[in-house]
Amino acid sequence: MLPLDPHADISRRAWVTCPNCEDHRGCATCESRRRCTRHWRYLLSNTGSLLHLQCPTCTHVWDHETGFGATRSRREA
1-59: per-residue pLDDT in tens? 678 999 899 999 999 989 999 888 899 998 898 888 999 999 999 988 899 999 999 99
> pTM surpassing 0.85?
no
Is 43 within a domain?
A: yes
**Count of domains observed in the chain:** 1
24-40: per-residue pLDDT in tens? 889 999 889 888 899 99
Q: Which residues contact 20 (CB under 8 A, 6 or more apart)?
A: 55, 58, 60, 62
Is 21 within a domain?
A: yes
What is the residue range of 26's domain?
13-65
